[in-house]
Every structure is written in structure tokens, then in C-alpha cells.
Amino acid sequence: MKMSGSLNVTTPADYIEQLTEPRKSDIAALDKLIREAAPKLEPFIHTGMLAYGRWHYKYESGREGDWFRIGLASNKNYISLYVCASDERGYCAERYKDALPKANIGKSCVRFKRLADLDAKALRKLIKEGAKANAAM
């Protein structure tokens, strides 16, 4: 199985095309879901993964850089969905631990083996929330 770090791609379509099944179908379905749930977030490639919604950050320390609002990566053992967003209640992804019990969820990352293991409605809701909330690192 090809991992995102080993792919030499420049467009989201290239990224998906170079994956092997069954991961290819899951990533393509997630790409479609993200584009439908968060249509204002422009898709692009960032650090070897699918990214949606360019975001330039700058800390009070002066450190700054470019990142994304939502990211998607095919890793060796799982798929990673990054939702880099928070609000007054905390990180958006963390709030979905109960709704997505078959996923391993950190502050901004939802890791899972197969898309079919996740509740599609909860996933769509998380993506919409992440697209609307404040960007967070």
C-alpha cells in the first residue's frame, strides 16, 4: 500500500490516482465528502497530503507558516483526517470521540482503518464544524 509520504503528486486528483485499493476508494469518498461539506475550502496538496482551505498562521512569538484547515492522508496502517479547528469549547475533533468510537482521536486528528467503520453523519458534521470554526494548530 502506498503511503502519502511516498507519493510524488502535485494535485488532489494525482494523489488519489496513485493510491491502491481499498484505500483509494475510501480517500476518494472522503475527498468528495469534504468538498461537499466544506465547499469554500480550496483543495490543494500540502506536505504530501490532501489539504483543504489554506491557512497562514502567526504566533505572538513571531513564528509563522502555512497550513490547512482540513487535511487527509493515507498512512501505512490507517487514514488520518486532520481537522485543524477549535472554538470556545476546545478542539473540534476531540468532541467526536463518542460519535466515532472506532477511530483514534487526538486534538486535531481522527485516525481510522476503513471509512465504513465511521458514522457518515457524524463525520460530515465534524467537517462542517471544522470548516466554520477558528483555525488551530
Give the pLDDT confidence of 1-51 residue by residue, as tens digits: 344 445 678 999 999 999 999 999 999 999 999 999 999 999 999 989 999
This prediction has a pTM of 0.89
Rounded to 5°, the CA angle 82-55-27 comes to 35
Per-residue confidence (pLDDT) for residue 23, from 0 to 100: 95
Domain tally, the chain: 1
Closest by CA to 133, choosing from 96, 88, 89, 85, is: 85
The Cα–Cα gap between 114 and 3 comes to 15
Domain of residue 10, residue span: 4-135
| Joined grid coordinates for residue 107 | 486534538
Give the pLDDT confidence of 41-71 residue by residue, as tens digits: 999 999 899 999 998 888 889 999 999 999 9
Give the pLDDT confidence of 85-106 residue by residue, as tens digits: 888 889 999 999 999 999 999 9
Span 108-126, mean pLDDT? 96
- The CATH number covering residue 89 comes to 3.90.1150.200
- 137 pLDDT more than 80: no
